[in-house]
Structure 1
């Protein structure tokens, strides 16, 4: 199964790593006395889209609260703006500021399990992969997470990501508390009962209120699930997904849409991970990384061009993958006799999607995401297919998941909503950018017309009016930002454009 995270792209880190290796003389801020603790002096940073190269003062990678506090104090003293970065998979300018100090949080990755309370405390820079690896030996798993594990916990809380646990929806409902370092260097603990306004602004707050030092997250038992798939017409998705949701044994679910054929996106593979009798007594195998498959990667990259490769990729996903998919073996003879495909909950989420990595400089991968009322899903899929016919962007993957309303300020779901995630290949050129902008504005308008919304971590090819229509509490959000950070220490390009 190919999947994308509800929220962020799986673009290779090549451009990020190249920028992190930039020479100090590339700096836009002249200085002869950079502090010794900078991990990068001057130069530039980028994000996973490789389209947002930004010249910066430097990058610091603190490993604890003391080092983090020192970096913020330095920024205040030298009148530097601060932007926060984890795995840098947001692509709407949320992780950089021209001439700013970039705080790379990936070294703040401490993880502590509290089995008595059923929670895990996670440093903001820890990757979800690390969290799963710590929980798995204790037969625990996360309540919710993105659909790829190479993203940071703090970063995905900051965009309120979601994944395949359709009962949980977004991360907002799984966060028990947060430790936040504010602009003045103080550290506060937030939850729904302690400063709920700030708590509900930081979740989905795009790093504008402070640094998520630590998050306390709910856990659930790690069980073996039976993995099944079925192919259905896209027009039947609402009824099929609704019926699957009514079965309490179904715990994880998503649907992949056809990326080839005519009409486009009008067929779907529905994946379910369900409990079965005796599942709690089954042994849980160790986590296994996805094997790299150069032939599969080659086919995926060939599918960046319209034609037979697209059809072959979709056909292989639909018809061949179920025959070669890895399944955990069970000691239950009855299940083995039935040839059940059993996968642990954590294993189902333990995915870095190595298939999507590439080093093709002329193309970059871009995500779109839209949230639709159930009654408008099928029409929006038809509209999207029509819009793609007139675009140079190539659809590599598309999926549907479910999210629910949360009490956060920038909530993208106004009730139960279907999330439509589009993973697109774009040419890296001025024309490619223009074409993507037209496609984005078309789909944003159609989503808003249908009473839906769009996701904010992606390219900013939408207007201030679009933002206000999708997020009616945006002015309240910006006002709260100014109240908690009156000096506007924490800044990014999202705030610069829309505040």
Structure 2
């Protein structure tokens, strides 16, 4: 059978298109599914790596570091990859995925401690300790993150009586650049302690750690609405000086009509109804995540969506006034809504630390700065973190309010440039008020701004090169700010 020339050309074209799809599909499998191209939750910094290794057993982690040493390969360390500034990977590096190294090794109810491998999540810990009536002292507001990742960024949370995570660490084991494993505490190999916690994976692999626990407690919830200029006095008088208040958070409006003016505060106070603890101590799972995600979606796209989201938040917490909840359940906040998978946009975080006494004037300056800026600011949570400079790269140079900003932005270069200019401006406003900013997020701030916010940065990076002379452990954060 003879095929006409036009039909033959069309057939050839279809075959070429089919072959192209096959090639592209194979490339995607090879370079994405295999882990050769990875990114973090922000998706703004995709990177080609050499390979990803799942660290499931101690020997496999040792072998990975020894192989990297022999072949002179760079190594980056990853957990849940919620640090958004390239902290968990590097071009053509070996990425050590620690999420499979996740055993709870020992719970000690007498001394109120837990020994865990670094890939354990806070959810794993909560499930292990809840039957003993124990609770975590410090963790993020969500329980999905790994302990190793949390140690590497020195997290803080809602507990106003315990500050940064470093305060709750007894010791940890660290695999150094040469494969040697050492125990690090405030007494043993102590030079590593303030460097590794808040060290963003630059000094070695955190293998396991012993953390301090506390008793699980029954709280009742109290919510109030107030104006931003009332918050300092409210916090000092009604929260900090009230021993019954154990946890606290606030939210600041991003709705157009009440932008950076309206607030509501939620306090968690020790309940006098101790006998009801057993009626509430079953660990809860996420509820209403679909509604939160839906309203956040409206908030991304419409100003009226921001108004609706703000109204919903206030109504939800007002309705929970007087509600009883255990400490463990307070620390099991919704997490799925953190995962936004828009094709052309992404949600990023920023966090700014402001001395408590400077909050009101800081908000005034921030509002003035943002008045004419095109930024899609969807949510601001305010927490408290007390002064602690045990970590060399400490963000808590004073008693601080921590403002966590959720921002939606486009993913192309134009959008990144626009967002970067605004964020650098917000950082300048923060530094003007003797504040700081949190380092786990996208590398928008300048090197100069980072050194102003973290005056020990030069010493920190110098110690990194001293203790890791081959610069075996690197990441994009280090490349941007440390060299």
- Give the structure-1-normalised TM-score: 0.87
Query: Alignment partner of 1:303: what SS?
Result: helix
1:158 aligns with 2:152: yes
Q: Which residue of 2 aligns with 1:297?
A: 293
- Aligned residue among 83, 89, 92 for 1:90: 83
- Aligned residue among 88, 92, 113 for 2:107: 113
Compare 347-356 and 469-478 and name the one that shifted more.
347-356
Compare 414-423 and 389-398 and name the one that shifted more.
389-398
1:262 aligns with 2:257: yes
Could you tell me whether the CA contact under 8 Å between 2:340 and 2:346 is conserved in 1?
no
Query: Alignment partner of 2:282: what SS?
Result: coil
1:26 aligns with 2:20: no
Query: Alignment partner of 2:257: what SS?
Result: coil
Could you tell me whether the CA contact under 8 Å between 1:224 and 1:280 is conserved in 2?
no
- Number of residues of Structure 1 aligned to a counterpart in Structure 2: 453
Compare 79-88 and 254-263 and name the one that shifted more.
254-263
Q: Which residue of 2 aligns with 1:336?
A: none
Cα RMSD (Å): 1.8
Q: Which residue of 2 aligns with 1:368?
A: 350
Shift in CA distance, 107/132, structure 1 to aligned 2, threshold 3 Å: same
Matches within 5 A, 1:248-397: 248-279=243-274, 282-283=277-278, 284-323=280-319, 325=320, 340-397=322-379
Mapped to 2, the partners of 1:121 and 1:197 lie a distance apart of: 22
Q: Which residue of 2 aligns with 1:136?
A: 130
Q: Which residue of 1 aligns with 2:394?
A: 411
Could you tell me whether the CA contact under 8 Å between 1:107 and 1:125 is conserved in 2?
yes
Mapped to 1, the partners of 2:266 and 2:378 lie a distance apart of: 18
Query: Alignment partner of 1:231: what SS?
Result: strand
Deviations 1:266-288 (A, max 9, x none): 11111111103242763143111
Q: CA shift at 1:148, angstroms? A: 0.8
1:203 aligns with 2:197: yes
- Aligned residue among 441, 446, 450 for 1:463: 446
Shift in CA distance, 183/90, structure 1 to aligned 2, threshold 3 Å: same
Shift in CA distance, 282/296, structure 1 to aligned 2, threshold 3 Å: closer
- Give the structure-2-normalised TM-score: 0.90
Q: CA shift at 1:152, angstroms? A: 1.0
Q: CA shift at 1:25, angstroms? A: 4.2
1:79 aligns with 2:72: yes
Q: Which residue of 2 aligns with 1:447?
A: 430
Mapped to 1, the partners of 2:338 and 2:83 lie a distance apart of: 17
Q: Which residue of 2 aligns with 1:43?
A: 36
Query: Alignment partner of 2:359: what SS?
Result: helix
Shift in CA distance, 292/319, structure 1 to aligned 2, threshold 3 Å: closer
Shift in CA distance, 76/280, structure 1 to aligned 2, threshold 3 Å: farther
Q: Which residue of 1 aligns with 2:167?
A: 173
Query: Where in structure 2 are there 5+ consecutive unaligned residues?
Result: 1-25
Could you tell me whether the CA contact under 8 Å between 1:306 and 1:394 is conserved in 2?
no
Shift in CA distance, 427/462, structure 1 to aligned 2, threshold 3 Å: same
- Aligned residue among 192, 209, 215 for 2:209: 215
- Aligned residue among 26, 49, 53 for 2:46: 53
Query: Alignment partner of 2:337: what SS?
Result: helix
Q: Which residue of 2 aligns with 1:486?
A: 469
Could you tell me whether the CA contact under 8 Å between 1:23 and 1:43 is conserved in 2?
no
Mapped to 2, the partners of 1:124 and 1:387 lie a distance apart of: 41
Could you tell me whether the CA contact under 8 Å between 2:121 and 2:147 is conserved in 1?
yes
Query: Alignment partner of 1:70: what SS?
Result: helix
Q: Which residue of 2 aligns with 1:5?
A: none
